């Protein structure tokens, strides 16, 4: 029987999961650099392991509200097919392992605004929504422009040669 490991986190009062293999790190909130003219959900960029990463407020994406700064807020840095991305979440809760059969497909996959909801993990008294980070990044408005900006920031300048 196949087992999967998940990082469980909270946004608002709901629990979400991302496969452990997609998570680069979980960080305390640190100052990040705001970038003008980016979509409202992008709070800025931050340096993680010598790489510039856009910080996406997942509460803004899901609930159209800004995440409130407090001691429990965390940044989950993910690898995606396009680029690393940092998700600002209400709380990083735990690591869990599930067996095949705990994960059920949801019928919302074809709805554009929730296409990144891959499935739901059913535990005894909990339903945890699984997020596909690759689909999430592709469905966010303006992400191509952000990707282009991040690629330009990675290119060495003439002074660095």
Fold held by 3-156 = OB fold (Dihydrolipoamide Acetyltransferase, E2P) (2.40.50)
| Domain coordinates in residue numbering, the chain | 3-156
3-state secondary structure the chain: CCEEEEEEEEECCEEEEEEHHHEEEEEECCCCECCCCCCCCEEEEEEECCEEEEEEEHHHHHHCCCCCCCCCCEEEEECCCCCCEEEEECEEEEEEEEECCCEEECCCCCCHHHCCEEEEEEECCEEEEEECHHHHHHHCCCHHHHHHHHHHHHCCCHHHC
- Per-residue pLDDT of the chain (161 residues), as tens digits, is 688 999 999 999 999 999 999 999 999 988 888 888 888 999 988 988 888 899 999 999 999 999 888 899 999 999 998 889 999 999 999 999 998 778 887 765 555 566 788 889 988 889 999 999 998 888 888 777 777 777 777 666 555 55
């Amino acid at each position: 029987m196949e087992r999967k490991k998940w990082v469980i986190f909270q946004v608002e009062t709901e629990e979400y999961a991302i496969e452990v293999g997609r998570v680069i790190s979980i960080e305390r909130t640190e100052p990040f650099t705001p970038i003008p003219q980016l979509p409202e959900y992008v709070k800025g960029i931050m340096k993680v392991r010598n790489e510039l990463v856009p910080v996406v407020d997942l509460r803004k994406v899901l609930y159209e509200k800004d995440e409130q700064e407090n001691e429990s807020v965390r940044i989950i840095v993910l690898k995606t097919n396009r680029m690393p991305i940092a998700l600002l979440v209400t709380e990083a809760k735990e690591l869990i392992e599930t067996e095949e059969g705990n994960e059920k497909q949801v019928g919302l996959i074809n709805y554009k605004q929730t296409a990144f909801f891959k499935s739901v993990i059913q535990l005894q008294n909990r339903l945890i929504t699984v997020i596909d980070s690759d689909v999430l990044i592709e469905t966010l408005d303006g992400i191509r422009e952000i990707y282009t900006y991040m690629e330009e920031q990675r290119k060495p300048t003439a002074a660095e040669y």
